[in-house]
Amino acid sequence: MTASLYPADFYQNRRAHTAHAASRILGALPALPRRRVADIGCGTGTWLAAALEAGTEATFGIEGDWVTPAMLDDARIAFAPQDLEKRFAGPRVDLALSLEVAEHLSPARADSFVADLVALAPAVLFSAAIPGQGGVGHLNEQWQSWWAERFAAHGYRAYDVIRPAIWTDDAIPAWYRQNVVLYLAEPLPGLTPTEPALLDRVHPAFWARANRELAYADAQPESEVLRRQAETAQQQ
């Protein structure tokens, strides 16, 4: 994944919603160290800028080489261009983020991608598209339980502590509300790990969309259905 999958103004147009999501989701995290934060697949650094605003001292982002330092939301973000299909390494941090990125990588990269994430931090905030979610350039849509198994191979347990706090916030894009899970190498007092099978959820926003598409498909010729599906995928 060396080039942007989205048009040049994609992140600019989405920045306000993403900034709100970042502020709310980072604010919903349990009490854990976050003096240093990394974001893998950081785009223009909106999540890292939110972390800095909330008091994080140092941030590090990796994204394809279509991003330049001048495009970053905050000049304090340390940045490295990287093809995420290839193994990466970065400075050890307190919290690593990777949000709606892993589905854009090949299935063969999944295990090593998780290995790279856990090598960065004892806490990983992770989300990735589920089967049927749809989107531009999705190569590996998997249920959250599937990803939880890969984190578990490194001793990381899943904690479904964010989604209950943001599930009904319509100002947060539905893919975050549906998919975001916290993984920890060590337990935190007062938190109970979530069984992987209980992580698999479909948000009502996506359920409603699927039903609209199904109803439309029942009334349209196959060629029209395929055309509409292609248009929808390009808009996501």
Per-residue pLDDT, 221: 59
Global pTM reads 0.83
β-bridge mates for residue 153, sequence order: none
Per-residue pLDDT, 213: 47
- Stretches in the chain below the pLDDT threshold 70: 1-16, 207-236
Per-residue pLDDT, 225: 55
Per-residue pLDDT, 208: 59
Per-residue pLDDT, 132: 86
Closest to 1 (Cα-Cα) out of 136, 106, 79: 106
**230 to each of 130, 184, 227, 234, how far by Cα in Å?**
18, 38, 5, 6
Per-residue pLDDT, 88: 96
Residue owning tokens 């439309």: 216
